[in-house]
Chain A
Amino acid sequence: MSFQIKLKTFPIKFLVFLLSLFFFLASLAALNAQTAEISAQGPESSSAAAALAAGQTAETKIEISGEIGEPAVSQPPATVAAPAPAPEQVPLPPAVKPLNVTASIDTVFITPGQTLDLSSITLSTQISKDAVKIESWSADTGSVNINTYTPPDANFKGIVALYAHYMDGGVIKKKEIELKVRKNYLEERLIVLYMALILAVIILLSINSALSGKNYFIRRIGGLNAIDEAIGRSTEMGKPVLYLTGLSDMSSISTIASISILSYVATKTAEYETSLLVPCCRSLVMNTAREVVKESYLEAGKPDAYNAENIKYITDDQFGFVSGVDGIMMREKPAANFYLGHFMAESLIYAETGNSIGAIQIAGTSEFSQIPFFVAACDYCLIGEELFAASAYLSRKPKDVGTLRGQDIAKLAIMVIVIIGVVLETLAVINPGLSSSLGMYKSVFQTK
């Protein structure tokens, strides 16, 4: 028995030993280098040391741009360089520190057809804040004089580079200011505002209708029906349930949707007295998840079954988190894995590791690029908006069901708009005379 224990702990001890050795050697090497850098005063023969003796120190990394190759880390040469050709002293202008000039504004906006009053833009030195006289202006397009910039034409939209020319030590220098010629935000985003308002009205009316007692049909979502089955399976097998909310913080709507589903899952695990593991990638998500799970356990009448240590923060780093979660999967062997939220490249790593331990897996994300991975590797997958519909599906409360109906009406409206667009586009190909009406249609829905 004791031999077995020794065998088990040997790799760990060996790893600790290796790690300690590594840290010790790394520290020693770094300390050596640093000592040389700080105190190399002796008559060393190397040019690096000679330079250091002269009071110069160097950081060793250099970035090389251009086509020559990738940047590489370089070290100062340890030996004296080959004799160089006789140095040619290149006389340079007298030493005058260049002015560090800042503009009163870095980016300016005008709408098409407008001219820009340049007198409102001033230059000053960064430290003393003294005003710097602008000698002239130039621009990469349009016309410009000392007071005004005029775009090339009345309909011009785009970004213009404006240059304010000033004198610095007898030399003309220039400061770039970005000019954006475009419609103002409200004008550009008006269609978005209208759409959002229409959507809001539809949803609120639907909620009102649902609250007044009207029943609405909700189509069956396989992945959500399987939640109870998955938790039940875990309970039967005496194994925990693993729940991931994804990579994003609480500012992501996917994470909030996931937290809503977690509330339901936690209620079920509390009822079945099954352990629920929630490793988190963000500390705010961890705190929110703890609150939600705790409340769910309280509501289920099982506050004692709640274990805060099961909801823990691992790391913000994407692949660090993946390795942490994979480790939990391999050690704890959960029987049901839930991946609901915002996932990126790590989605398939979770799903395949979960598959290798034989867990029933339910995934859901609105991230289009990750859906194929979840579909391929998981038992059930919530696609796109099903993630947001999940809380309504699970709770069946009128306000949630009303929201779902509102979403469906909005999607129907979008489908109609798309179909009209397709028909108009097709007709415009057949009959070019219709292209002007198509242009009008496009202009309504096109935003930047």
Chain B
Amino acid sequence: MFLRKTLPLLICFFCGVFAIIGFFSAEGTTINTYYEKLAKWNSIIAAFAMLLGVGNLLRVNFVKISRNHQDKVYCAILIVSLIATASFGLIGGVYSSKPVYYMAPGQNFDLSTIAVTYKNENRKIEPMKIESWSADTGSVSLNTYTPPTSDFNGVVVLWADYMNKNEAKKIKVELHVRKRPAYEGFLDFFKNKCAYVFEYMIKPMQSTMFSLLAFFVASAAFRAFRAKSFEATILLVTAFIVMLGRVPIGTSIWPGFAGISEWILSTVNMAGSRAITLGAAVGATAACLKIILGLETRYLGGE
């Protein structure tokens, strides 16, 4: 009982009171510093809790496979994908979108290998003309970078100068001058795969799910805006005016739609929004108080 109820409640009380004191303490004071650390602990605990989730995910899916469940193939795909993606990230590390190049000491770097492209107005990728190069150390021409000395080791910042709408602009490129052990290339393989999974698999799938919203908004609006009652009719008319005010065709029909739409959003809608937000804030404060004082224990299980 002590470990299941009393101790969590005590921890909750002390953390809650400490967080309140920390919030009202001046920046730079010891209490405020520890208050900020407390917030970081939350992230650390959440990161460790991720292992719990992964463990559960693996267990549930392994059990399904072992029981010859009808969805066992999906379970297998999930486990393989999980392990593959985690391996890419764990071995290769975090992928940086910053352009980083490497060269061995005592060599010259061929700048023509750095191809810079951009998307034009038609979203086509085109090569961009580099006018000149500059570097924070060493010497540089249009095609070649030479480190200051033959035994120079370190990071060089290269700037590619280009023109955009008659304005000179620069792109920063990092060049690491050092001997690269072979294992780093091996790690790069995983790093690139990790980035590949995120860029070309996860992101498109997320976008696909998100794009479903467009259709769902239409179907939900169709149901909600049927003029079944007086309130529903007001909703329909208001929505119609706001919609017309937000699209070009509405203002073409009558320019006043834009103003009415803006008034509905900034006055009528905002009043409702503030009322709900204030109510929710009071509710949340009361709930926090109950939790800190141990009056609310249902989240620990039981009454």
Could you tell me which A residues sit within 8 Å of B by CB distance? 9, 12-13, 15-16, 19, 23, 26-27, 30-31, 33-34, 37-38, 47-48, 50-51, 54-59, 61-77, 81, 84-85, 87-98, 109, 184-186, 189, 193, 196, 199-200, 203, 207, 249-251, 253-254, 256-257, 259-260, 263, 282-284, 286-288, 291-292, 294-296, 298-299, 309, 312-314, 316-320, 322-323, 345-346, 348-349, 351-352, 355, 366, 368, 371, 373, 375-377, 383-385, 387-389, 391, 399, 403, 406-407, 410-411, 414
Contact = CB atoms under 8 A, between A and B. Distances in A.
Interface stretch (B181-189, B250-258, B259-267): B181-189
Contact of B114 (A58, A89, A95, A256): A58
Contacts of B282: 199, 385, 407, 410-411, 414
Could you tell me the dominant secondary structure of chain A's interface residues? helix
Interface in B106-158: 107-110, 112-121, 123, 125, 128, 134-144, 146-149, 152, 154
Contacts of A68: 118, 128, 162, 164-165, 169
B52 A109 contact: no
B139 A89 contact: yes
B280 A391 contact: no
Given A256-B291, A319-B205, A366 B60 contact: no
B34 interface: no
B44 interface: no
B171 A385 contact: no
A8 B118 CA distance: 46
Nearest to A253: B284
Given A34-B186, A317-B202, 4 more contacts: A58-B114, A59-B100, A87-B141, A349-B209
A349 B53 contact: no
Q: How large is the interface on B (under 10, 10 to 19, 20 to 34, 35 or more residues)?
A: 35 or more
A249 B49 CA distance: 10
B220 interface: yes
Contact of A94 (B148, B192, B219): B148
Contact of B299 (A260, A313, A323): A260
Contacts of A349: 209, 212-213, 216
Contacts of B1: none
Contact of A76 (B77, B114, B149, B276): B114
A95 B138 contact: yes
Contact of A292 (B53, B223, B298): B298
